[in-house]
């Protein structure tokens, strides 16, 4: 039996991420660890505010889950948060944690991103259920995000299995009324060490036995799913159409379908209950499955021998909405269409004063091929910088550059450089640097160190100086770290001094040995104190050549009427990256107060 007490003590308006954080507190979670990634980032940021749960950012998702597994083995309830691609990094411990099972409840919040609002792919992580053999729950709004998260801890302990709560962007960021239940009192639970190698040490002999236990557990969960309140059926007298759906898609369905259509809403996504699906499909004339991304439920329905519509009506790509769902059903939609042509184009660009702009300006002049990585610096791919030429996943830039270097020769080999941010380097890039050292790479690596995890909102990382809980801590010394793994040539550069950075980059790219250039300057959004007085332009000197516009700074504005460039002083941070580009010294540069030298 679950321990959650459904006593509605309080109603609060929360986003899905805020609701999950509140649920963790109310479920008696003792430790939470994750890696920031949209749309999951705000869960730990909100949970840390409660101060009742120890929270930390980990260098990557694998480490975060391993920390939580350790806490669970000691008897504490633990929560790990990540976005969908982060679960790929954490997959190794996840698969084996299904075998060991848990002691304290172990829950992973995995936030998928249909539509790729801030992701490099839109993988459907429901497939991790059957692949990793873990339980998956899928809430459809903030209220369910709260209650499903609480139930996930109960189910994890009741069935001795890790539980994934799979959310999507609309659930994470959408707001709704949450009926808060009475907090669970786990103050009497004491953590302790439990010696049980047959359960917690997965050498082959023990793992084979645990696999048998795991399959038995999954069979028990299938029986549980058949009666669980997580799966809800709303049958109508008119049985002509029945819709099966889950997650955010349920909300879209309920907005547009006729009142006489029956609906099966699935909350337990793995294992699916054959009985629940069969009972519903047998009771309606036509079955339509509405789900985002892959035909996960549709495939299960067809495997049971039932005909159904699904992806033939709603497609495989992108995020659904009420209009798309209504269109798929072939029924009128009442939604309002906003004329996109009336909106001005706003291509994403690096922020004014972004330290990465100087590095990309230099690398473009050196005509390099940039093996890039995941972070806000990936925006360097856009014009006019055109500064990223390959990008796959977190930490891949160094490995790709190393691979290219081994198959290219001559001038082309010299063109390839790897670019990676500080947080991403600490996430998984460091492993590839060790590989470059070990396998005698002669490449050049640029670590763009802006002292924070900028793209997801300036979260703390091991190079930041404080923890998620706000405590002062050690900073990773990037130079010492690179030298410690065997890189002999490690140098620092200042991205705001592009003249000196150009000399340094050119020298190291020409070097026939592995070298690392750490381009260090704080993110201007996270460290506002580095902002200087804005530049201005001497209009009499400006010849309208547009050379300064090649750095792609939003603070530089082309005056078509006057055929001059002007500076928007509300945006300019005085970084000076544009100054060396002017052939006639038209920029007026105030005296610097905060900049200093790297």
Sign of CA dihedral 221, 227, 232, 237: positive
Q: Coil, strand or helix: which one is 418?
A: strand
pLDDT band at 581 (very low <50, low <70, confident <90, very high): very high
Cis omega (within 30 of 0) for bond into 271 = yes
Instruction: Encode pLDDT of 517-563 as tens digits.
Output: 999 999 999 888 889 999 999 999 999 999 999 999 999 999 999 99
Q: Is the pLDDT of residue 337 over 90?
A: no
SS3 category, 229:
coil
Sheet of strand 286-290, all strands in order from the earlier edge strand to the far edge: 232-234, 262-266, 241-246, 286-290
Both tokens assigned to 227? 């009666």
Which residues have CB under 8 Å from 490's CB, separation 6+? 479, 482, 483, 515, 516, 518
What pLDDT is stored for residue 73 in this prediction? Answer: 96
Other beta carbons within 10 angstroms of residue 423's beta carbon come to 30
Q: What is the pLDDT of residue 118?
A: 86
Q: pTM above the 0.85 mark?
A: yes
Token pair 């994750």: residue: 34
The residues pairing with 370 across neighbouring beta strands, listed in sequence order, are 417
Position 594 scores a pLDDT of 63
pLDDT digits (tens, 9 = 90+) for 477-513: 999 999 999 999 999 999 999 999 999 999 999 999 9
Mapping DSSP to helix (H, G, I), strand (E, B) and coil, where does residue 23 land? helix
Cβ–Cβ under 8 Å, residues 328 and 319 = no
pLDDT at 7 over 60: no
Residue 491: what are its φ and ψ, rounded to 5°?
-135, 155
- Burial class from Cβ neighbours inside 10 Å (0-12, 13-18, 19+) for residue 466 reads exposed
- Residue pair 97/69 in contact (Cβ under 8 Å)? The answer is yes
Q: Give CA–CA dist 502/71, Å, rounded.
A: 48
- Give pLDDT, residue 530: 87
**For 12-29, how does the pLDDT look when each residue is reduced to its tens digit (9 = 90+)?**
999 999 999 999 999 999
pLDDT-derived band at 348, boundaries 50, 70, 90: confident
Query: pLDDT tens-digit profile of 446-463?
Result: 999 999 998 888 899 998
Is it the case that residue 127 has pLDDT exceeding 60? yes
What is the rounded distance in angstroms from the CA atom of residue 354 to the CA atom of residue 169?
A: 27
H/E run at residue 219: helix 204-227
SS3 336: coil
Looking up tokens 């294992």 gives 271
For residues 588 and 565, what is the distance between their CA atoms, to the nearest angstrom?
A: 13
């Amino acid at each position: 039996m679950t321990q959650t007490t459904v006593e509605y003590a309080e109603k609060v308006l929360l986003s899905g991420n805020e609701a999950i954080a509140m649920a963790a507190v109310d479920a008696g979670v003792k430790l939470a660890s994750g890696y920031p990634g949209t749309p999951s980032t705000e869960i730990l940021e909100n949970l840390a505010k409660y101060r009742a749960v120890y929270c930390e950012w980990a260098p990557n998702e694998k480490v975060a889950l391993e920390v939580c597994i350790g806490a669970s083995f000691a008897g504490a309830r633990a929560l790990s948060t990540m976005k969908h691609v982060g679960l790929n990094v954490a997959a190794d411990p996840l698969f084996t944690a299904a075998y060991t099972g848990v002691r304290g409840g172990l829950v992973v919040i995995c936030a998928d991103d249909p539509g790729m609002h801030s992701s490099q792919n839109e993988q459907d992580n429901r497939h991790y259920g059957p692949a990793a053999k873990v339980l998956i729950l899928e809430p459809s709004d903030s209220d369910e995000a709260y209650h499903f998260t609480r139930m996930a801890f109960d189910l994890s302990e009741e069935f001795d299995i890790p539980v994934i709560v799979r959310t999507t962007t609309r659930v994470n960021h959408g707001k709704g009324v949450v009926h808060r239940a009475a907090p669970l009192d786990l103050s009497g639970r004491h953590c302790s060490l439990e010696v049980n190698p047959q359960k917690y040490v997965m050498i082959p002999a023990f793992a084979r036995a645990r696999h048998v236990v795991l399959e038995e557990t999954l069979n028990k969960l299938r029986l549980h799913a058949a009666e669980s309140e997580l799966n809800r059926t709303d049958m109508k007298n008119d049985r002509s159409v029945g819709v099966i759906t889950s997650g955010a898609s349920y909300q879209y369905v309920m907005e547009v379908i006729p009142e006489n259509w029956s609906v099966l809403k699935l909350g337990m996504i793995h294992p699916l209950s054959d009985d629940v699906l069969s009972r519903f499909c047998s009771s309606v004339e036509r079955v339509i499955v509405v789900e985002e991304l892959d035909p996960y439920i549709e495939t299960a329905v067809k495997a049971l021998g039932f005909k159904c519509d699904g992806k033939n009506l709603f497609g495989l790509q992108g995020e659904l909405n009420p209009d798309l769902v209504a269109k798929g059903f072939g029924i009128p939609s009442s939604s309002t269409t906003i004329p996109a042509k009336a909106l001005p184009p706003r291509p994403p660009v690096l922020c004014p004063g972004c330290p990465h702009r100087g590095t990309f300006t230099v690398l473009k002049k050196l005509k390099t091929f940039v093996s890039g990585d995941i972070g806000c610096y990936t925006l360097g791919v856009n014009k006019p910088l055109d500064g990223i030429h390959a990008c796959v996943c977190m930490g891949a830039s160094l490995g790709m550059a190393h691979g290219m270097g081994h198959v290219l020769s001559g001038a082309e080999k010299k063109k390839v450089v790897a670019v990676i941010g500080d947080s991403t380097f600490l996430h998984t890039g460091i492993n590839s640097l060790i590989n470059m050292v070990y396998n005698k790479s002669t490449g050049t690596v640029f670590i763009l160190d802006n002292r924070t995890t900028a793209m997801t909102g300036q979260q703390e990382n091991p190079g930041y100086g404080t923890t998620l809980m706000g405590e002062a801590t050690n900073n990773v010394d990037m130079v010492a770290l690179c030298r410690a793994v065997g890189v002999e040539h490690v140098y620092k550069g200042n991205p705001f001094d592009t003249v000196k950075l150009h000399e340094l980059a050119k020298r190291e790219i020409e070097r026939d040995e592995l070298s690392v250039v750490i381009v260090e300057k704080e993110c201007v959004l996270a460290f506002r104190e580095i902002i200087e007085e804005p530049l201005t332009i001497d209009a009499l000197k400006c010849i309208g050549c547009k050379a300064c516009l090649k750095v792609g700074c939003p603070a530089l504005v082309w005056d078509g009427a006057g055929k001059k460039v002007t500076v928007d002083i509300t945006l300019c941070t005085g970084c000076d990256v544009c100054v060396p580009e002017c052939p006639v010294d038209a920029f007026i540069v105030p005296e610097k107060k905060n900049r200093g030298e790297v």
